[in-house]
Chain A
Amino acid sequence: MPQPKMRFIPGVVPNAGTLSFSFEGNEIPARPGETVASALMRAGVPVLRRTRIENQPRGYFCGMGICWECAVFVEGTGVVRSCGEPARPGMVVRLAEAEV
């Protein structure tokens, strides 16, 4: 069976060292250039919030910035889509809990 070809994204070099950020107080390892969503998924954190009405789990879904299901709160930035947010060393990430 033919295997898919790997394509490396410029600036993202596997095994080029790691950084870490905190998510709900836990240290999450990430690679330079990797998104917060990707690092959280690899760390085994699929659920980023629960719906208010039926308490259903929600997390990374469309992967392209449309659905907002992967929203997280980044200290100093606010609520962002984790699928489009590069992981930065030392960033503090929490569950999204915006307030009116």
Chain B
Amino acid sequence: MNTAKARTAAGQADTIIVGGGIFGLFCAMTLAEAGKSVILLDKGRIWAEASAVNAGSLGVQNKLPALIPYTLWSWDIWNTLSDRLGADLGLRRNGGYKIAMTEDEAARLGRVVSEQIDYGLDAQRLSPAALRAQAPWIAPDCMAATWSPQDGYASPTRVGPALRRKVESLGVRIVEGAAVAAVENGPDIRVLTTAGDFHGTELAITAGAWSATIAAMLGVKIPISLDVNMVSVTEPARPTIECIVTHARGILTLKQVANGSCLIGGGWQGIGSIGDSRKDIDHDQLVHNLRLAMRVIPGLAPLNILRSWAGYEGVTPDSYPYLGRLPGHDNVYLAACARGGFTLGPLMGTLLGELILTDRPSRPITIFDPARFSNAAA
């Protein structure tokens, strides 16, 4: 143990992980619990980007049908995470409504939920009358809704520090302010950063939207586009909304968290890019986001918005995450960019750790192969 500590202090480890978000921390936890030495690098503070600034939804109904099994497996990890980390994570699994406000949206909702149920989602269609009886706070002109007891949420603000304490207690060395300048892959991996050089047997890239930049340092082109998602929080209100609300077109997420505040998201786009590091609110877009929230839940109207913010989300061409070896590199791994990465992160990070440890992750990962667009990219 002391030799491992001395090695990581000297910048050497079995695995170097680049990116201290939810994927990287779960990967670090999985590797460290199996006895591997790990150095986790982040360009800034860990838990500072998408993992920290998202709205905390742990939705199942809002996932692509093929991702439903993965979302449920990730929920298996979420279910016991408070005990495992010894912390209150603000975790609730009170179910959720997915709603449609127009006929087109209702048709789409019906189509998608059938496919999701085929993939294992537990959900039921509600008649407008049943919805009004169950959730009188939803607008009476809501055209259609589904209910799933499997939706929930957690507090990103609470999860990050708890994960950090856990991986540090397992001996993982976290190095912040370590922006990667170059990666050299010879017999071992050398990662040159603004906080020194680090050597490892394997490299795991879990850098979210920045993953393409790291992969490019190894000459590999990985397509990732950028969303700048906005989130708003209201003043605390009397607890009324006991579950999450999502939308047939994916343009609204809403939940009322433990302090009574409502968190409003839905992927409305702010202003910014990785190049200019901007993450600003686009008020013209925000107005539509908030109008939609009030249209779905009229009781929100008198509440003040306390704050709105924006955060980056890396997006793959098919909206499935990357998880696997970097093409052309046996000892470099990539896991990044799930749509709904906060929900899927525990599973994705764990599977990445299992892949590195045993080459046999406990769930199939073929559809996440980072090489799947390599022809298109070439």
Looking at B25-33, B109-117, B236-244, the stretch in contact with chain A turns out to be B236-244
Q: Whole-angstrom distance from the CB of A59 to the nearest CB of chain B?
A: 14
Say yes or no: B259 contacts A51, CB within 8 Å.
yes
User: Is A6 on the interface with B (CB-CB < 8 A)?
Assistant: no
Q: Whole-angstrom distance from the CB of A92 to the nearest CB of chain B?
A: 17
Q: Whole-angstrom distance from the CB of B307 to the nearest CB of chain A?
A: 8
**With A68-B306, A100-B240 as contacts: A52 and B259 at CB distance below 8 Å:** yes
> How many chain B residues touch A (Cβ–Cβ < 8 Å)?
20
| Of B235, B239, B258, B297, the contact of A79 (CB 8 Å cutoff) | B235
Question: Considering the chains assembled together, what is the distance between the CA atoms of A99 and B297 in angstroms?
Answer: 12
Say yes or no: B302 contacts A78, CB within 8 Å.
yes
**B-side contacts of A78, CB under 8 Å:** 302, 304
User: Is B299 on the interface with A (CB-CB < 8 A)?
Assistant: yes
Question: Considering the chains assembled together, what is the distance between the CA atoms of A68 and B299 in angstroms?
Answer: 20
Q: Whole-angstrom distance from the CB of B316 to the nearest CB of chain A?
A: 36
In A38-85, the 8 Å CB interface with B consists of 51-53, 68, 71, 78-79
User: Is B260 on the interface with A (CB-CB < 8 A)?
Assistant: yes
Question: Considering the chains assembled together, what is the distance between the CA atoms of A95 and B304 in angstroms?
Answer: 15
| Of A53, A68, A79, A100, the contact of B238 (CB 8 Å cutoff) | A100
Question: Considering the chains assembled together, what is the distance between the CA atoms of A85 and B103 in angstroms?
Answer: 45
Q: Whole-angstrom distance from the CB of B256 to the nearest CB of chain A?
A: 7
> Which chain B residue has the least Cβ–Cβ distance from A81?
B304
Question: Considering the chains assembled together, what is the distance between the CA atoms of A79 and B238 in angstroms?
Answer: 13
**A-side contacts of B143, CB under 8 Å:** none
- Interface secondary structure of A, over-half rule: loop
| Of A52, A68, A79, the contact of B260 (CB 8 Å cutoff) | A52
Interface string of A9-48 (1 = CB under 8 A from B): 0000000000000000000000000000000000000000
**B-side contacts of A99, CB under 8 Å:** 237-238, 240, 299, 302
User: Is B303 on the interface with A (CB-CB < 8 A)?
Assistant: yes
**A-side contacts of B85, CB under 8 Å:** none
Question: Considering the chains assembled together, what is the distance between the CA atoms of A28 and B149 in angstroms?
Answer: 49
**B-side contacts of A52, CB under 8 Å:** 236, 239, 258-260
**A-side contacts of B297, CB under 8 Å:** 100
Say yes or no: A71 contacts B235, CB within 8 Å.
yes
Say yes or no: A53 contacts B258, CB within 8 Å.
yes
Q: Whole-angstrom distance from the CB of A76 to the nearest CB of chain B?
A: 13
User: Is A98 on the interface with B (CB-CB < 8 A)?
Assistant: yes
> Which chain A residue has the least Cβ–Cβ distance from B260?
A52
Q: Whole-angstrom distance from the CB of B153 to the nearest CB of chain A?
A: 15
**With A68-B306, A78-B302, A79-B304 as contacts: A98 and B259 at CB distance below 8 Å:** no
Q: Whole-angstrom distance from the CB of A78 to the nearest CB of chain B?
A: 6
User: Is B67 on the interface with A (CB-CB < 8 A)?
Assistant: no
Point out which of B236, B256, B258 has the most chain A C-beta atoms below 10 A from its C-beta: B236
User: Is B262 on the interface with A (CB-CB < 8 A)?
Assistant: yes
Say yes or no: A98 contacts B258, CB within 8 Å.
no
**A-side contacts of B137, CB under 8 Å:** 100
Say yes or no: B306 contacts A98, CB within 8 Å.
no
User: Is B162 on the interface with A (CB-CB < 8 A)?
Assistant: no
Question: Considering the chains assembled together, what is the distance between the CA atoms of A52 and B260 in angstroms?
Answer: 7
**A-side contacts of B258, CB under 8 Å:** 52-53
> Which chain B residue has the least Cβ–Cβ distance from A58?
B236
Say yes or no: B241 contacts A100, CB within 8 Å.
yes
The 19 listed contacts between A and B (C-beta, < 8 Å) are: A51-B259, A52-B239, A52-B259, A53-B259, A68-B304, A78-B302, A79-B302, A79-B303, A96-B235, A98-B235, A99-B237, A99-B240, A99-B299, A100-B237, A100-B238, A100-B256, A100-B262, A100-B299, A100-B300
A contact residues vs B (CB 8 Å cutoff): 51-53, 68, 71, 78-79, 96-100
The list of the 5 closest CB pairs from A to B, nearest first, reads: A100-B240, A100-B299, A98-B237, A100-B237, A99-B238
